């Protein structure tokens, strides 16, 4: 794809390079300088070729800063092309896709307008939190899934009588798809979350079919890890063997990883939509196929 340039943002530089190699496209990096007052200045480290431009940058914490930097990159890219695909592997604010409580702003709708205004003509995201959220975008948007890649990774681990588990009923379909690729069965726990304070509790009764089995807890993202911790503690009481976690986006805010491991999780496996030591699965291939 000689007429394509991939621009990598500060939050997704390595993934952008991998994507450029997959596409056999040109690559332009960027530099971020943060001033003492907190403002950031983004500079392209090269000139994009004439043709299509793909801007790659996740908007994980600091979400607002990475969002502004992404908008700046898209805006700069629009000086060179009117065909700009914004690849935002982890899309911040995707959970704010509706008004849960009276008076709440549907922030994802605002983000969608900003991305279009900056110059994006298409978008690609990975495992967006809710498919409903894509209705806020007035440009073509495609959601690609990393579930098959995660399942492929776990198939190499040779687990004992594995069972896929969703930490809540809302993720049951995700667990079903993962289990299908893996070639095993799945179950979904039931939980309750207080919308005001965020506290979670498991309301599933005792389970007999997890005893002595290796379990794979599958989720789209892990933020503070509260749901994973509660699910793991519950499953350990049911005399399961080992508990593994598979997720696309490992935010792991604060000491979330420590809490998850303390609860009894053997290993966390995530993708490189968010770089980090748990990011063992590369999503450049599935993004390249979508492009």
Burial bucket for residue 108 (CB in 10 Å: 0-12, 13-18, 19+): buried
22 in active site? no
CA–CA dist 212, 119 (Å, integer): 53
**DSSP per position, 215-259:** EEEEEEEESS-HHHHHHHHHHHHTT-S-EEEEEEEE---TTHHHH
- Residues for the chain: how many in total? 291
3-class DSSP state of 200: strand
Please report, for residues 15, 20, 23, 70, 291, the alpha-carbon distance to residue 5 in angstroms, rounded to integers and kept in the order given. 14, 8, 10, 16, 12
Burial bucket for residue 196 (CB in 10 Å: 0-12, 13-18, 19+): exposed
CA–CA dist 93, 109 (Å, integer): 9
Q: Could you give the residue ranges of the DSSP H alpha helices within 78-224?
A: 107-118, 147-155, 172-182
Which of 191, 199, 262, 289 is catalytic? The answer is: 191
Catalytic center residues: 191
């Amino acid at each position: 794809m000689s007429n394509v340039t991939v621009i990598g943002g500060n939050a997704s530089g390595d993934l952008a390079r991998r994507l450029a190699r997959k596409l056999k496209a040109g690559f332009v990096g960027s530099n971020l300088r943060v001033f003492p007052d907190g403002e950031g200045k983004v500079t392209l480290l090269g000139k994009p070729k004439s043709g299509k431009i793909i801007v790659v940058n996740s908007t994980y914490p600091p979400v607002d800063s990475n969002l502004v930097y992404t908008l700046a990159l898209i805006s700069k890219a629009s000086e060179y092309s009117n065909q700009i695909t914004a690849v935002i592997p982890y899309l911040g604010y995707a959970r704010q896709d509706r008004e849960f409580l009276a008076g709440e702003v549907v922030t994802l709708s605002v983000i969608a307008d900003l991305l279009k205004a900056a110059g994006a003509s298409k978008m690609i995201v990975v495992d967006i939190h809710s498919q409903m959220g894509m209705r806020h975008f007035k440009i073509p948007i495609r959601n690609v899934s990393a579930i098959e890649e995660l399942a492929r990774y776990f198939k190499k681990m040779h687990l004992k009588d594995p069972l896929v588990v969703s930490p809540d009923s809302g993720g049951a379909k995700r667990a079903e798809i993962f289990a299908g690729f893996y070639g095993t069965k799945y179950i979904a726990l039931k939980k309750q979350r207080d919308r005001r304070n965020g506290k979670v509790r498991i309301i599933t009764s005792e389970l007999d079919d997890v005893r002595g089995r290796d379990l794979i807890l599958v989720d789209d993202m892990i933020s503070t890890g509260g749901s994973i911790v509660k699910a793991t503690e519950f499953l350990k009481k049911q005399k399961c063997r080992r508990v593994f976690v598979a997720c696309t986006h490992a935010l792991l805010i604060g000491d979330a990883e420590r809490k998850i491991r303390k609860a009894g999780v053997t290993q966390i496996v995530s993708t490189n939509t968010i770089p980090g030591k748990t990011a063992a699965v590369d999503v450049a291939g599935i993004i390249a196929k979508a492009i």
